[in-house]
């Protein structure tokens, strides 16, 4: 339910993203989901990976600035209005969201990666409303 997300700070120069994916691939770390946010000087690559500790250690050994952050994975149906229902619960329970991203698993639904300010509280409120949460090992098997 609460899983580690790996964040990598990347200079905005050609090939840096490829370096990260190559290093992780050679280390046997699978990327299940990712998003990139950028500014004019750098980008932040946020990833859900199969082995967060191994990914961090490997990337640090290769000179990347890396950190982990706790996030929550909420599973919803892959149909119109599902995200709105999830967001309504979070709003009703006053869960502040720093950022989020999502991906679809077609017939199996969608997964929203949520970075709330209060992770444990977010999990508690989603469980209270019977929202299906995904464990890391479930995601890594996809």
Taking the C-alpha atoms of residue 96 and residue 79, their distance in angstroms, rounded to an integer, is: 24
Of the candidates 69, 92, 115, which is a domain's last residue? Answer: 69
Q: How many domains does the chain have?
A: 2
Same domain, 11 and 34: yes
Q: Which residues contact 33 (CB under 8 A, 6 or more apart)?
A: 47, 48, 101, 103, 111, 113, 139
CATH classification of the domain holding 44 = 3.30.2130.10
Same domain, 54 and 95: no
Same domain, 21 and 39: yes
Same domain, 75 and 132: yes
User: Are 93 and 125 contacting, i.e. CB atoms less than 8 angstroms apart?
Assistant: yes
Look up the pTM and report it.
Answer: 0.90
Q: Which domain holds residue 128?
A: 71-140
pLDDT tens-place values along the chain, 142 residues long? 789 999 999 988 888 999 999 999 999 999 988 999 887 778 999 999 999 999 999 999 999 999 999 999 999 998 899 999 999 999 999 999 999 999 888 777 899 999 999 999 999 999 999 999 998 778 766 6
User: Are 110 and 76 contacting, i.e. CB atoms less than 8 angstroms apart?
Assistant: yes
User: Are 100 and 91 contacting, i.e. CB atoms less than 8 angstroms apart?
Assistant: no
């Amino acid at each position: 339910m609460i899983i580690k997300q790996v964040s990598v700070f990347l200079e905005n120069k050609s090939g840096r993203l490829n370096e990260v994916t190559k290093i992780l691939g050679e280390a046997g770390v699978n990327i299940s989901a990712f998003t990139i946010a950028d500014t004019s000087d750098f980008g932040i690559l946020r990833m859900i990976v199969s082995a967060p500790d191994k990914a961090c250690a490997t990337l640090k050994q290769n000179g990347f600035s890396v950190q982990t952050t706790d996030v929550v994975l909420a599973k919803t149906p892959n149909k119109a209005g599902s995200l709105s229902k999830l967001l309504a619960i979070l709003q009703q329970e006053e869960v502040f969201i720093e950022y989020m991203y999502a991906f679809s698993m077609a017939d199996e639904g969608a997964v929203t990666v949520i970075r709330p300010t209060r992770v444990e509280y977010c999990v508690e409120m989603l469980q209270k409303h019977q929202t299906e949460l995904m464990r890391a090992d479930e995601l890594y098997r996809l």
